[in-house]
Amino acid sequence: MQLSDLSVRRPVFSAVIAILLCIVGVVGYLSLSVREYPDTDPPIVSVETIYTGAAASVVETRITQLIEDAVAGVQGIRTITSTSQDGTSDISIEFDPSRDIDTAANDVRDRVGSVVEDLPEEALAPEIRKVDADARPILYLSFSRPGWSEIQLSDYIDRNIADRFSAIDGVARVTIGGEARPSTRVWMNAERLAAFGLTPADVENALRTQNVELPAGRFESKDQNQTLRVERPFATPDEFAQLVVGRGANGYQVKLGDVARIEEGAENPYSSFRSNAGTAIGLGIVRQSGANTLEVADKAKALVEQLRPNMPQGMRVAVGSDESLFISRAIDNVYDTLLEAALLVILVIFLFLGSVRATIVPAITVPICLLATCAVMWLLGLSINLLTLLAFVLAIGLVVDDAIVVLENVYHRIEQGEDPLVASYLGTRQVGFAIISTTLVVCAVFVPVMFLAGQTGLLFRELAVAMIAAIAFSGFISLSLAPMLCSKLLNNAERGRLARWVDARFQRLEGRYSRWLDHVLRKPLLPLIGVGLFLALAGGMFTLLPNELAPAEDTGVVDSQISAPEGTGYDRMLAYMRKIEAALAPLREDGTLQNLVVRTPAGFGTSDDFNSGNVIAFLRPWEDRTITTAEVATIINKVIAEQPGVRGNAAPRSGLGRGRDPDHHGRGRRRARPRPRSRGRRLRPGRAGRGA
């Protein structure tokens, strides 16, 4: 074996290689992003178009079908999912996992741009977004202040808070729940309009033409130049009341105040966001794809503490949901398991070998292989998550195997009287082929996992890569660093008292096993029957095991989607949600819930339908409660079932959910063409020639 021969003859070479692997591994480990699970969602591009006042059937024919037909030819499409509802068209385009999301979004943007002129003039320009699993906020902040209305809260958050969080490195966007932008609302009196011979269109034209600020040229002189402008904007209800909207039959100037009631109100009055039974504004921090969840959350929470002294007196900020806590706790537990596994492996090696010097050789192999694996993960764009850490835990027992084979053979030759240098040289050569073959065999076991299709393949691909890299490096280290360390550390010293005591116990166990094995070989029928019965029992029990992609976890967050019959008004839906909020108040009062968010309608987007809502329950930290997230979800489901007129479902939040945009959570969808005053969903498979 040339590698082992070179390592024994040139010990500095093997040591430098190992040090370089450690340095690159440390750099890779510090650069890896931290997630709960690998990114399992394929590239998804969404197209949202607002057509205020249009029925679902009109939105379907005038907008959705046109955009669908335009984007259908984009390469790499798997499915096109469209939702047409009153006033809104949503189209989600799912691409093959190999498709670059930026290139796919540009292709969709070009295709949509080609049909913009065919869309209704009253419709807003289509909004194209890249949607993935990271669209869900990792941190939810709730802002409230006694005595302030939703408009005042929203205005302050929009002007002073939201942009500060958007500037944090790693933040993709900031979503505002319950946003109520200040605006002026005009309520026209139909009788007065008819009396003056005016129509709502006349009022609209007057507002468009007169509520403007126009350039009026420049004023130039020898001493100075000034830009002139015509200031005609209206800001207060009293100013709007003086706006002239037309003339009566006798030449009377009809002002807006004569035919309408003007008041200040929210731009979207049909939105409610309540936190702990009080008016609040929610701020959701959405991280960028690939960003470190823990770092982004820590920076956001540090910014909250920085902003507290400068906030208005009495304003409260509550951390409603913090996904970084669960991820941090879960990963810390895996790190503890990783350390325990390493210590147990080293202890077992010491008990069998009985030498501290011999134990050092495989013990050094473990951290070097794991650090080198981190470097490979960094180069491949992977992340530290529960599955890659699971791969590390499994790899600890495998990466020491090759080093133990080399160590045991070299140690045996030293006990036979050979010099440590000669024993390392010849002993490694003797088992080199076996190490290479076993390393390749174990790696080959995980290669098929990398080619699994669907979400399962995306989920376990990083685990397979981590296992293959760790095992491959273990084979390399066992043929390079391990023989060099054996030549420098091992000697034919007499075993200690503990080693002799352990050897005596193992020899006694070995004798019992030999006698039992002789008995089995003389009468092989009985053990064969036992093995057959065991396999039959195991096969029967396997068929009874439940199937699921991932086990349920106590995440501390329960998401509830509430829906009412189609056509339910905003006030009626708000009354339904208030009843549910009141029924869940005991959970908050007894300390089970840390924060209870009730949102009407569901999502952050605007819609002409109000028959949906969200209830999000954030539980207290694990050490401060005895009830589980699943038990709280059961209680909430019971409360929802007892409410007449609504239906819904509550479930613990999972990190493996589909990565849809949270703006669309809770919207009812059906696999049918939409009808007037209804919502519809169409699922179109990818056509031939589009990579489907």
| Measured CA distances, 612 to 272, 279, 635 (Å) | 12, 19, 20
Task: Find, among 247, 237, 243, the residue nearest to 255 by Cα.
Answer: 243
Looking up tokens 């993935």 gives: 132
Least confident of 117-131, 212-226, 507-521: 212-226
Predicted pLDDT of residue 376: 93
Reduced to 3 states (helix: H, G, I; strand: E, B; else coil), residue 120 is: coil
Q: What is the pLDDT of residue 656?
A: 63
Average pLDDT (303-308) is 90
- C-beta of residue 94 within 8 angstroms of C-beta of residue 79: yes
Q: What is the residue type of 415?
A: E
The DSSP output letter for 668 is: -
Of 681, 683, 660, which Cα lies nearest the Cα of 602?
660
Query: How far is 467 from 49, CA to CA, in rounded Å?
Result: 45
Q: Answer whether 259's CB lies under 8 Å from 240's CB.
A: no
**E strands present in 426-565:** 557-563
673 or 489: whose pLDDT is higher?
Answer: 489
Q: Give per-residue burial for 29-66: e unless 16+ CB within 10 Å, then b.
A: beebbbbbbbbbbbbbbbbbbbbeebbbbbbbebbbeb
Q: What stretches of 189-347 adopt beta strand conformation (E)?
A: 213-220, 225-231, 244-247, 253-255, 260-266, 272-275, 278-279, 281-287, 316-322
Mapped onto helix, strand or coil, the DSSP state of residue 607 is coil
Task: Compare 232 and 600 and report the one with higher pLDDT.
Answer: 600
Closest CA to 663 of 155, 142, 163, 271: 271
Cα separation, 119 vs 30, whole angstroms: 49
pLDDT at 680: 40
pLDDT at residue number 466: 92
Region 642-648 average pLDDT: 87
Segment 119-137 mean pLDDT: 76
Selected residue with higher pLDDT from 659 and 552: 552
Number of alpha helices (DSSP H) and beta strands (DSSP E) in the chain: 22, 23
Is residue 369 packed enough to be buried (19+ CB in 10 Å), middle (13-18) or exposed (0-12)?
A: buried
The answer to whether 479 and 403 have CB atoms below 8 angstroms apart is: no
Task: Identify the pLDDT of residue 22.
Answer: 92
Averaged pLDDT for residues 589-604: 78
Distance CA(507)–CA(672), nearest Å, equals 73
How far apart, in whole angstroms, are the C-alpha atoms of residue 32 and residue 388? 11
Query: pLDDT band for position 683 (50/70/90)?
Result: very low
Window from 105-114, 450-459, 569-578, 638-647 with minimum mean pLDDT: 450-459
Parallel, antiparallel or unpaired: strands 88-95 and 127-131? unpaired
> From CA 614, how far away is CA 602, in angstroms rounded?
5
Buried b (16+ CB within 10 A) or exposed e, 642-660: ebeebebebbbbebbeebb
Q: Give the pLDDT of residue 496.
A: 66
Whether 534 shows a pLDDT value over 90: the answer reads: yes
pLDDT tens digits along 47-91: 989 888 888 889 999 999 999 999 988 888 888 888 888 788 889
Residue with tokens 């470097």: 375
pLDDT at 236: 82
pLDDT score, position 374: 92
Following DSSP, what letter does each residue of 198-223 receive, concatenated?
--HHHHHHHHHHHS-EEEEEEEE-SS
**Cβ count within 10 A of residue 165:** 21
Contact 254, 238 (CB under 8 A): no
Q: Are strands 171-177 and 557-563 parallel, antiparallel or unpaired?
A: unpaired
Host H or E run for residue 194: helix 190-195
Read off the pLDDT of each residue in 574-583 and give the average, rounded to a whole number: 89
Classify the phi-psi angles of 53: left when phi > 0, otherwise alpha if psi is within -120 to 50, otherwise beta. left
SS3 321: strand
Q: Strand pairing partners for 176?
A: 283
Query: Average of pLDDT values for 494-513?
Result: 79
Are residues 615 and 650 in contact, defined by beta-carbon separation less than 8 angstroms? Answer: yes
Q: What is the DSSP string of 585-603?
A: HHHHHTTSEEEEEEEESSS
Structure token pair of residue 264 = 């200040």
Residue the block writes with tokens 């997230």: 629
Q: What is the mean pLDDT of residues 645-673?
A: 55
DSSP 498: H
DSSP H or E segment with residue 6: helix 2-9
- Asked if 342 contacts 393 with a C-beta cutoff of 8 angstroms, the reply is no
| Residues above pLDDT 90, as percent of the chain | 10
State the alpha helices, DSSP H only, in 122-236.
150-156, 162-166, 190-195, 200-210
Instruction: Output b/e per residue, 455-494; b: 16+ Cβ within 10 A.
Output: eeebbbbbbbbbbbbbbbbbbbbbbbbbbbbbbbbbeeee
Distance CA 139, CA 460 (A): 26
CA pair distance 86, 59, nearest whole angstrom: 7
* β-sheet bridge partners, residue 572: none
Residue 480 has pLDDT above 60, yes or no: yes
| Sole residue written with tokens 């007449």 | 644
**How far is residue 95's CA from residue 59's CA, in Å, rounded to a whole number?**
24
Per-residue pLDDT of 154-207, as tens digits, reads 888 888 888 899 888 888 788 888 788 888 888 898 888 888 888 888 888 888
What is the tens place of the pLDDT at every residue in 416-445?
Answer: 888 888 888 888 888 888 888 988 998 998
Indicate the average pLDDT of the chain.
82
Q: Per-residue confidence at 451, pLDDT binned at 50, 70, 90? A: confident
Distance of CA 63 to the CA centre of its chain: 31
Instruction: Tell me the per-residue pLDDT of 337-374, one tens digit each, with 9 for 90 and over.
Output: 888 888 888 888 787 777 788 888 888 888 899 999 99
Say how far apart CA 374 and CA 385 lie, in whole Å: 12
Section 16-34 average pLDDT = 90
Q: Please, which pLDDT band fits residue 21 given cuts at 50, 70 and 90? A: very high
Across residues 222-233, what is the average pLDDT? 76
Nearest to 77 by CA among 49, 44, 40: 44
292 by Cβ neighbours in 10 Å (0-12 / 13-18 / 19+) ranks as buried
Length of the chain: 692
Query: Under 8 Å CB-to-CB from 149, ≥6 apart: which residues?
Result: 180, 279
pLDDT digits 0-9 by tens, 482-500: 889 888 887 766 566 777 7
Whether residue 676 has pLDDT greater than 70: no
Q: Compute the distance between CA of residue 112 and CA of residue 627 in angstroms, rounded to an integer.
A: 50
Half-sphere exposure of 496 (CA within 13 A, CB side): 10
What is the SS3 assignment for 373-385?
Answer: HHHHHHHCCCEEC
Of 76-80, 158-162, 477-481, 554-558, where does mean pLDDT reach its minimum?
A: 554-558
